[in-house]
C-alpha cells in the first residue's frame, strides 16, 4: 500500500492546524484527518464521529502503531511543506497498477468537489 496523494487544508486556530485528505493506492481516500498542535508537538487525529454518549469513535484508523507512524510522518511532512510555501497538493510515487488506472480515475479535486460540496471548506 502506498500513499499516492496528500492534500492539506490549513486552518488558523489555536490547536487545530489543518484538515488533510489522504489517497491510498490512487483508489481509496480518507478525508477529515486533523493536524493538531499538542503540548508535545504536532500529531494527527483520524476522522471520527460523536456517539450518543458523547464519546468520539474513529471512523477510519490504522490498525497498528507502525502504520499510524507511517501515515502521521507523511501527513506532517506534507503539512510542513504547505506551510513553507510548498505545494498544497503533493503526490507520492504511485504503484504500477495505480499508474495504469490513472487515466480512467477522476482527479482528487473532482472527487473532493463531489464529496465536500456541502462542507465547511472550499475546494479549488
Per-residue pLDDT reduced to its tens digit, 28-82: 999 999 999 999 999 999 999 999 999 999 999 999 999 999 999 999 999 999 9
Q: Is residue 122 part of a domain?
A: no
Residue 15: give the domain boundaries.
3-96
Name the 3-class secondary structure at 45: strand
The CATH number for 70's domain is 3.30.1120.40
pTM to 2 decimal places = 0.67
Within-domain flag for 51: yes
Residue 104 included in any domain: no
- 99 pLDDT above the threshold of 80: no
Cα atoms in the 13 Å half-sphere on the side-chain side of 18: 22
Residue 54, in any domain of the structure: yes
- Stronger pLDDT, 122 or 26, i.e. the higher one: 26
Cell 484538515 maps to which residue? 19
**Residue 115: inside a domain, yes or no?**
no
CB 98 within 8 A of CB 106: no
* 107 is a domain residue: no
Amino acid at each position: 500500500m502506498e500513499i499516492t496523494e496528500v492534500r492539506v487544508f490549513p486552518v488558523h486556530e489555536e490547536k487545530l492546524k489543518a484538515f488533510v485528505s489522504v489517497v491510498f493506492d490512487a483508489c481509496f481516500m480518507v478525508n477529515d484527518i486533523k493536524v493538531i498542535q499538542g503540548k508535545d508537538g504536532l500529531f494527527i487525529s483520524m476522522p471520527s464521529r460523536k456517539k450518543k454518549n458523547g464519546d468520539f469513535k474513529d471512523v477510519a484508523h490504522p490498525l497498528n502503531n507502525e502504520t499510524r507512524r507511517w501515515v502521521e510522518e507523511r501527513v506532517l511532512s506534507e503539512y510542513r511543506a504547505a506551510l513553507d510555501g510548498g505545494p498544497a497538493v503533493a503526490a507520492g510515487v504511485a504503484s504500477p497498477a495505480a499508474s495504469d488506472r490513472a487515466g480512467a480515475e477522476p482527479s482528487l479535486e473532482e472527487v473532493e468537489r463531489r464529496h465536500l460540496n456541502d462542507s465547511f471548506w472550499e475546494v479549488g
